[in-house]
């Protein structure tokens, strides 16, 4: 009988955080469109029959401002932003796969989005999220976003929370 030894090493949270890679890409990136499908399924589960209409004003395929997060070549999160005017952009579709939450991937995505917006000389970022997305609200507050009046297509939308910050 041949004895086989298996070496197994469980990565620590710190090791996974340091191996997360962030890539700037476009909305045409298939990895991003696959991630959006996972996000939509996640939102559908959260808001099942609640009347909240999430992300009603975006076609991500046309955006040139997409950030993807990956570990070992596996896409685990992403986000993007859409220019509203010369000074302001709307952060959209920030999502981390539930299996990879707690590893600061969302923080990395937000840092990359904010840095990219600054490079484009934008003055402010705004966003919309739902009242049941507690982790997202916590993340956005961590990065200086505060509640603002609902804007554009979100005016009067039940369950919608709009936030903004200066750059």
Q: State the Cα–Cα distance between residues 36 and 78, nearest whole angstrom.
A: 8
- Across the chain, how many H-helices and E-strands are there? 4, 7
Residues 6 or more apart in contact with residue 152 via CB below 8 angstroms? 57, 84
pLDDT surpassing 60 at residue 9: no
pLDDT in tens, 103-122: 899 999 999 999 999 999 99
pLDDT in tens, 121-142: 999 999 999 888 889 999 999 9
Give the residue among 61, 120, 117 at the shortest CA–CA distance from 93. Answer: 61
Q: Is 78 helix (H, G, I), strand (E, B) or coil?
A: strand
Quick one: 13-122 is in which CATH superfamily?
Answer: Gcn5-related N-acetyltransferase (GNAT) (3.40.630.30)
pLDDT surpassing 60 at residue 42: yes
Phi-psi region of 107 (alpha: psi -120 to 50; beta: other; left: phi over 0): alpha
Residue 111: burial class (beta carbons within 10 Å; 0-12, 13-18, 19+): middle
Per DSSP, 131 falls in state T
Give the residue among 139, 117, 114 at the shortest CA–CA distance from 129. Answer: 139
| Least confident among 39-53, 68-82, 91-105, 119-133 | 39-53
């Amino acid at each position: 009988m041949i004895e086989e030894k298996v070496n197994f090493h469980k990565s620590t949270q710190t090791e996974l955080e340091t191996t997360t890679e962030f890539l700037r890409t476009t909305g045409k990136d298939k990895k991003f469109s696959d991630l959006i499908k996972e996000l939509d399924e996640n939102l559908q589960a959260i808001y099942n029959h609640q009347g909240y209409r999430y992300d009603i004003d975006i076609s991500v395929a046309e955006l040139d401002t997409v950030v993807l997060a990956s570990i070992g070549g596996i896409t685990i999160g992403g986000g993007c932003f859409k220019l509203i005017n010369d000074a302001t952009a709307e952060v959209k579709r920030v999502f981390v796969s539930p299996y990879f939450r707690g590893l600061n991937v969302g923080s990395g995505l937000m840092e990359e989005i904010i840095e990219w917006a600054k490079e484009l000389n934008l003055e402010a970022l705004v966003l919309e999220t739902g009242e049941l997305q507690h982790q997202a609200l916590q993340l956005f507050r961590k990065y200086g976003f505060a509640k603002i009046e609902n804007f554009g297509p979100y005016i009067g939308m039940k369950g919608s929370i709009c936030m903004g910050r200066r750059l």
